[in-house]
């Protein structure tokens, strides 16, 4: 018998001073049985970083060739494709052909460096691609905030990200590995 996804609910309040975006989002997050709390929470952070009224979670681990988050325009064209983790470089290149903007939010400590060394030469020429790294400490702090019902506040100012819930708070910055051309 196949295991079913676990459903998480999050009330996410985003104050992105850098983009002038302020909104509250009620999120329903399906966590695949093989997905960790850390990965799920990095997806939530990615939602906050790129928050938009048309941004939505993709099918996730259950579907290859699909983004973790996607933003489409009113015609269905993919405006933004977002992957978290260390995606296969062929999948990233395909995404660059399908979307106007592609973002990778990498995490995993030393594995990020090894991944980037292996794919850098093949991805640096992708003009639509931006790659950023979340520190291991930040990913661990996010993971500790995972709960079936969450209230999270994310504030972004001058590239600094502050994340709070009713128990904890921490701040971080993303390391830019590649900017969009």
CATH code of the domain covering residue 136: 3.10.640.10
Q: For residue 175, what are its two tokens? A: 């390391």
Any domain includes 76: yes
Any domain includes 1: no
Any domain includes 60: yes
**d(Cα 60, Cα 67) in Å, to the nearest integer?**
7
Q: Which domain holds residue 150?
A: 6-178
**Nearest alpha carbon to residue 83 among 66, 100, 62, 98:** 66
What's the pLDDT score for residue 4? 85
**Nearest alpha carbon to residue 83 among 94, 147, 113:** 94
Span 151-171, average pLDDT:
97
Total number of domains constituting the chain: 1
Q: CB–CB of 30/7 below 8 Å? A: yes
What is the average pLDDT score of the chain? Answer: 95
What's the pLDDT score for residue 3? 75
Any domain includes 11: yes
Say yes or no to pLDDT of 76 above 70.
yes
For tokens 């995972």, name the residue. Answer: 146
Q: What is the maximal distance between C-alpha atoms in the chain? A: 48
**d(Cα 158, Cα 180) in Å, to the nearest integer?**
18
What's the pLDDT score for residue 1? 52
Q: How many CB atoms lie within 10 A of CB 180?
A: 12
């Amino acid at each position: 018998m196949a295991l079913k996804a676990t459903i998480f609910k999050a009330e996410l309040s985003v104050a992105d001073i850098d983009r002038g975006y302020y909104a509250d989002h009620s999120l329903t997050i399906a966590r695949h049985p093989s997905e960790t709390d850390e990965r799920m929470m990095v997806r939530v952070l990615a939602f906050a970083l790129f928050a938009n009224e048309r941004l939505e979670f993709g099918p996730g681990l259950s579907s290859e060739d699909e983004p973790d988050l996607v933003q489409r325009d009113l015609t269905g064209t993919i405006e933004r494709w977002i992957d978290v983790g260390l995606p296969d470089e062929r999948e990233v290149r395909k995404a660059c052909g399908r979307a106007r903007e592609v973002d990778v939010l990498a995490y995993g400590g030393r594995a990020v460096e090894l991944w980037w060394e292996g794919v850098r030469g093949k991805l640096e020429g992708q003009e639509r691609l931006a790659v950023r790294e979340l520190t291991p400490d930040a990913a661990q702090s996010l993971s500790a905030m995972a709960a079936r019902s969450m209230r999270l506040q994310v504030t972004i100012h001058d590239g600094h990200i502050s994340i709070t819930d009713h128990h904890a708070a921490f701040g971080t910055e993303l390391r830019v590995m590649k900017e969009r051309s």
